[in-house]
Amino acid sequence: MDSEAQRRFAQMLHHRTKSLAPGAPLAPEIITAATYHCPDVDNIAYIYGRASTPTWDVLEAQLAILEDAPCVAFPSGMAAISAALFATLGGGKRLVLPSDGYYVSRLLSQDFLASFGVEVVEIPTLQMEHFDYSGAAVVLIETPSNPGLDVCDIALIAAKVHAAGGVLIADNTTMTPLLQRPLDHGADIVVAADTKAPAGHSDVLFGHVSTRDATLLARLREWRRLSGAVPGSFEAWLVHRGVETLEVRLERMCASAMEIATRLSAHPRVKNTRYPGLSQDPSHVTAKRQMSGFGFLIGFELEDRARAEAFLTACPYIAQATSFGSTHSSAERRARWGDAVPEGFIRLSVGIEPRDVLWAAIEAALDQT
Ligand SMILES: *Cc1c(COP(=O)(O)O)cnc(C)c1O
Give pLDDT tens digits for 191-206: 999 999 999 999 999 9
Q: Which atom of ligand 1 is nearest to the CA of 101?
A: 13
Q: How many residues does the chain have?
A: 369
Is the pLDDT score of 363 beyond 90?
Answer: yes
- Mean pLDDT for 140-159 is 96
Residues 6+ apart with CB under 8 A from 285: none
Calculate the alpha carbon distances from 195 to 203, 206, 208, 234, 322 in Å: 8, 5, 10, 14, 12
Closest residue (by CA) to atom 2 of ligand 1?
193
pLDDT tens-place string over residues 271-284? 999 999 999 999 99
Q: 41 pLDDT exceeds 90? A: no
Residue 147 has pLDDT above 90, yes or no: no
Which tens digit of pLDDT belongs to each residue from 98-133?
999 999 999 999 999 999 999 999 999 999 999 999
Q: What is the mean pLDDT of residues 307-334?
A: 96
Q: Which pLDDT score, from 0 to 100, does residue 1 have?
A: 85
* Average pLDDT estimate for 79-84: 98
Options 3.20.20.210, 3.20.20.140, 3.40.640.10, 3.30.1360.120; CATH of 3-243: 3.40.640.10
Q: From 150, 173, 203, 297, give the residue whose CB has the most ligand 1 atoms within 8 Å, as the site to mutate.
A: 173
Whether 3-243 shares its CATH topology with 246-368 is answered no
DSSP run (H or E) holding 120: strand 119-123
Proportion of the chain above pLDDT 90, given as a percent: 95
The amino acid occupying position 214 is: A
**Alpha-carbon dihedral of residues 190, 194, 198, 202, nearest 10 degrees?**
-160
Nearest Cα residue to atom 1 of ligand 1: 193
Q: How far is the CA of 69 from the centre of ligand 1 (A)?
A: 21
On the CB side of 216, CA atoms within 13 Å amount to 24
How far away, in angstroms, is 173 Cα from ligand 1 center?
7
| CATH T-level fold of 246-368 | Aspartate Aminotransferase, domain 1 (3.90.1150)
- Predicted TM-score (pTM) of the model is 0.97
Confidence (pLDDT) at 369: 83
Q: What is the dihedral of CA 254, 255, 261, 264, to 10 degrees?
A: -130
Spell out the residues 6+ positions from residue 298 whose beta carbon is closer than 8 angstroms to its own. Answer: 149, 257, 260, 261, 264, 273, 274, 275, 347, 348, 350
Distance from the alpha carbon of residue 103 to the mean position of ligand 1, in angstroms: 9
Instruction: Name the band, by pLDDT with cuts 50, 70 and 90, for residue 338.
Output: confident
Residue closest via CA to ligand 1's atom 6 equals 77
Going from N- to C-terminal start, the domains of the chain cover 3-243, 246-368
Pocket of ligand 1 (CB under 6 A): 76-78, 81, 102, 142, 146, 171, 173-174, 193, 195-196, 205, 207
CA of 199 to the centre of ligand 1 (A): 13
Q: Which residue's alpha carbon is at the smallest distance from atom 8 of ligand 1?
A: 77
Residue 121: its pLDDT value, please? 98
